[in-house]
Amino acid sequence: MNIFKNKGVQLVLFVSFGTLLLYLVYINQRNLHIANCIAENGIDANCNYLDKIVTDLKQAKLSWVILSVLLYILSNIIRAARWCMLFKPLGYTVSFANSFFSTMIGYMVNLGLPRAGEIAKIAALSRNEHIEIEKVAGTIVVDRSMDFICLFVMILLGIFFEYDAIVNFVMQEGSFPFWVFPFLLIPAGLFVWFLYIRKTSKNKVIQKINGLINGFSEGIMSVFKMKNKVLFLAYSVGIWLCYYLMTYVVFFSFAPTAELSPVAGLVVFVFGALGMVIPSPGGAGTYHYLIAKGLELYGVTDGFVLANIIFIPIQVVGNILLGLTAYILLPSFKKPKDDE
């Protein structure tokens, strides 16, 4: 038996990876702090970075942190309502409770296994609503595609307002690895080949896959059959406005960032959002690193601290506590099989 196939081992490995990544970012920020501290106060200065982090976290204004958590919860309420909309064209009326609880379970699972939360939320809602799992998966593709579009718009806005600073950052950090593009042709070629095979083959396995793909496609096409597209768009804007605000309001809780502008908040938010896109447990490490890098554009060297002021309450309150609550309550909202 291959030990790496064990789910418990996989979970430990992913959590260990996230912890290691977070530790490496901490070491990088600690070294920067010590160098700056010695330069300003001399070799005999007390430059203990861990003590500084603890002190800064204690001094953070709790009211702004609570507001950030509430905005995060609101974003997921809106997301759950938007997800319900995608099932209407498919002939299903999904309850808000099932949509919301499945969403929170997904975020909790992501803390252990990056991207596995999408599978968990699909399975949870499919089981509770008695909807074919491939159709639920299709709606998730629409949901994430809309998120990608919104993130892209946010990036464009950030570049529009802070073009020079962002370009300088990219030039300093290194150019984009354009060598990856040839490798994108490989999956594209396999996809085209598969489309040809699925249309011509009479193999039972291929036919079964065809059935799954058809259900998956039906879920994706739900957005085009939606009656109230304006509301769907408004929900999408609302989700990402909450995401932006839940980052920016925390600026006011921390002295080094309290005077930064809303535009700075937008740019730092975009950096952090990209950190969450990179697969790591809950964004641990990648989120902290890119938040710190974003704040360096504005001369703030305490980005690691701010990242934790945002990250810890969201993960502990928003994802772990709500995720566990959702896991406990979700079975109570399971629909009878004959309930459409």
Residue 4's pLDDT is 40
Residue 212's pLDDT is 54
* Per-position pLDDT tens, the chain of length 340: 444 444 444 444 445 556 677 777 778 778 877 887 787 777 766 778 888 888 888 888 999 999 999 999 999 999 999 999 988 888 888 999 999 999 999 888 887 776 677 888 989 998 998 888 888 888 888 888 888 888 888 988 988 888 877 777 666 655 444 444 454 455 555 555 555 555 555 666 555 555 555 555 555 565 566 778 889 889 999 999 999 999 999 999 998 899 999 999 999 999 888 888 776 666 777 888 888 888 888 888 888 888 888 888 888 777 888 889 999 998 888 877 765 4
Residue 90's pLDDT is 81
First to last CA, the chain: 43
Cα separation, 113 vs 101, whole angstroms: 18
Nearest to 319 by CA among 7, 83, 103: 103
Positive or negative, the CA dihedral 204, 208, 211, 217 is negative
Residue 289's pLDDT is 84
Looking at residue 335, what DSSP letter applies? Answer: P
Nearest to 135 by CA among 217, 226, 210, 223: 217
Cα separation, 310 vs 291, whole angstroms: 10
Cα separation, 216 vs 198, whole angstroms: 15
Q: Which residue has the tokens 């998120």?
A: 147
Residue 9's pLDDT is 42
**Side chain identity, residue 140:** I
Question: What's this model's pTM, rounded to 2 decimal places?
Answer: 0.77
Cα separation, 136 vs 142, whole angstroms: 10
Residue 55's pLDDT is 85
